[in-house]
């Protein structure tokens, strides 16, 4: 096996891994604030890509305007979802929450199918598609965009959670919702915030990956699940360990697809998911938590 080939797979794995990381952090933010695994997370990724397409083609907006527009609309969908489906739920048991977020995800996917049809769509790359050579391997400018934007989002995320009042309040909710409520934090508002942040992040992930992989009404399912794998590897943290989780997943998947069999590419992610859940349910880097009864 040639070194160049391995380098090539690793490089493309890192950029898909960055996407998984962004989606995974979205999962973790909602999970930490609410205890909900949002099965509809992948649909925001899909919405981001397809809304950008509509902004570009129907409204003839330039790219720099289309992206914020698409993110804003996806965020509105996220807020509506929280308001109309999650908040009014009378019996918020884990099983009911799983079912209702699955229902939401199917509904959003179905509506997207009506709006954009069943075809796959392409979005033009942000800055051309002239390959860049790196020591025997090549990458596209879009890969660099993905890495740069992911990095920026992670930094903003860090600043928000550690240096602003509302970010700190949100962390308080994730440690103990009841205690956070007792010290005057509006927990329900924090839940809404968590949906805003993670739907926006999901949309950004969907936009930056769309020029590479194309997009369609049903891309959200797989991307969402992979993002969840990243979050599980990272122990449901909304920080650096989920990023590492995403990168590990992306690289392993890319190497597995290249060196073993491309048909089993998706299976690799789920085998990793099951192994981690069986052996280290607290994530690769987390400490075991004692269970409260």
Partner 1 sequence: MKQNLLLFTGFSILIMFAPQLLSGGYLMNVLVFVGINTMLAIALNLLLGYAGQISLGHAGFFGLGAYLSGILTTAYRFNPWVAMPVAAVVVGCMAGMIGFPILKLKGHYLAMATLGLGIIIFIVFNETVELTGGPSGLSGIPNLQLAGISFDSDVKNYYLIWGFTLAVMLFSLNLANSRIGRALRAVHDSEVAAQVLGVNARLLKVQIFAMSAVISSLAGSLYAHTMTFISPASFGFNFSIELLTMVVIGGLGSVYGSFLGAALLTLLPEILRGANDYDIIIYGGLLIVMVMFMPGGLVRGIPALYRKVIKQKGETGHA
Q: Which residues bind partner 1 (CB under 8 A)?
A: 31, 36-37, 39, 85, 88-91, 94-100, 102-111, 113-114, 221, 225, 228-229, 232, 261, 263-264, 266-267, 270-271, 273-274, 277-278, 281, 293
Q: How far apart are CA 197 and CA 53, in angstroms?
A: 22
Please report how close the Cβ of residue 141 comes to partner 1 at its closest, in angstroms: 32
User: Residue 173 has which token pair?
Assistant: 């909710």
Shortest Cβ distance from residue 63 to partner 1 (Å)? 31
Report the nearest approach of partner 1 to the CB of residue 152 (Å): 29
Nearer to partner 1, 162 or 264 (CB): 264
Query: C-beta of 216: minimal distance to partner 1 in Å?
Result: 14
The bridge status of strand 137-139 relative to strand 132-134 is antiparallel
Nearer to partner 1, 114 or 133 (CB): 114
The smaller minimum CB distance to partner 1, of residues 173 and 225, is found at 225
CB 255 within 8 A of CB 268: no
Q: How far is the CB of 156 from partner 1 (least distance, A)?
A: 27
Q: Which is nearer to partner 1, 106 or 172 (CB)?
A: 106
For the CB of residue 223, give the shortest distance to partner 1 in the complex, in Å: 13
Q: Which residue has the tokens 């891994």?
A: 17
Q: Which is nearer to partner 1, 69 or 98 (CB)?
A: 98
Q: Which two tokens stand for residue 166?
A: 């509302």
Q: Which is nearer to partner 1, 3 or 264 (CB)?
A: 264
Question: Closest CB to partner 1 among 60 and 119?
Answer: 119
Nearest distance from residue 95's CB to partner 1, in Å? 6
CB crowding 244-256: b at 16 or more within 10 Å, else e? bbbbbbbbbbbbb
């Amino acid at each position: 096996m040639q070194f160049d080939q391995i380098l090539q797979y690793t490089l493309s794995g890192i950029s898909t891994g960055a996407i998984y990381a962004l989606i995974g952090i979205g999962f973790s933010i909602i999970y930490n604030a609410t205890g909900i695994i949002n099965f509809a997370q992948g649909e925001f990724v899909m919405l981001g890509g397809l809304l950008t397409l509509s902004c570009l083609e129907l409204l003839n907006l330039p790219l720099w305007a289309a992206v914020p527009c698409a993110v804003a609309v996806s965020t509105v969908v996220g807020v509506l979802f929280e308001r109309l489906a999650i908040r009014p739920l009378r019996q918020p048991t884990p099983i009911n929450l799983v079912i209702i977020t699955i229902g939401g995800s199917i509904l959003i996917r179905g509506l997207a199918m009506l709006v954009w049809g069943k075809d796959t769509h392409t979005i033009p790359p942000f800055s051309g598609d002239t390959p860049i050579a790196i020591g025997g391997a090549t990458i596209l400018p879009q890969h660099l965009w993905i890495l740069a934007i992911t990095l920026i989002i992670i930094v903003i995320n860090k600043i928000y959670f550690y240096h602003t009042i509302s970010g700190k309040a949100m962390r308080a909710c994730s440690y103990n919702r009841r205690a956070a409520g007792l010290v005057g934090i509006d927990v329900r508002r924090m839940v809404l915030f968590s949906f805003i942040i993670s739907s926006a992040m999901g949309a950004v992930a969907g936009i930056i990956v769309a020029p590479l992989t194309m997009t369609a009404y049903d891309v959200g399912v797989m991307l969402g699940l992979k993002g969840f794998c990243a979050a599980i590897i990272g122990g449901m943290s909304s920080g650096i360990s989920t990023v590492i989780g995403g990168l590990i997943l992306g690289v392993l998947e890319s190497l597995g697809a290249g060196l073993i069999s491309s048909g089993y590419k998706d299976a690799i992610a789920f085998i990793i998911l099951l192994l981690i859940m069986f052996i280290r349910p607290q994530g690769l880097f987390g400490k075991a938590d004692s269970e409260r009864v």
